[in-house]
Amino acid sequence: MVLVSRTQMVAVVSLSILFNIPRYLDDHVVKREDGSLKRDRTNLGNDDTFQLVYAGIFYYVVIYFLPVLILSAMTHRHVISSSLIMSGDNIL
């Protein structure tokens, strides 16, 4: 049970890092002639399809829906295993 939970946690952290990589690629820093820095959009950041699909749809699914789904599944498994332990059934 601990191995499954640990694997799920590693998967969530890894996928979170991978999912946020495009956020770092849609902007870059440009040095102006006066020496100040300015944040500018890259071609990826200016792409309307990317903004719609990534920022408008996938972001909410990954940030809101997926964690609730994972927590629900883990809670369901915990309730089932706890009820089996309490009833005295051998789950191993």
**C-alpha separations of 58 from 5, 19, 34, 61, 73 in Å:** 24, 9, 39, 5, 21
This prediction has a pTM of: 0.56
**Residue range 7-50, pLDDT digits in tens:** 878 888 898 888 888 888 888 888 888 989 988 888 888 888 98
pLDDT of residue 1: 61
Q: What does the pLDDT read at residue 91? A: 55
Question: Per the structure block, which two tokens stand in for 59?
Answer: 């972001």
Q: What is the pLDDT of residue 89?
A: 61
Per-residue model confidence (pLDDT) at position 63: 82
Per-residue pLDDT reduced to its tens digit, 46-64: 888 988 988 888 888 888 8
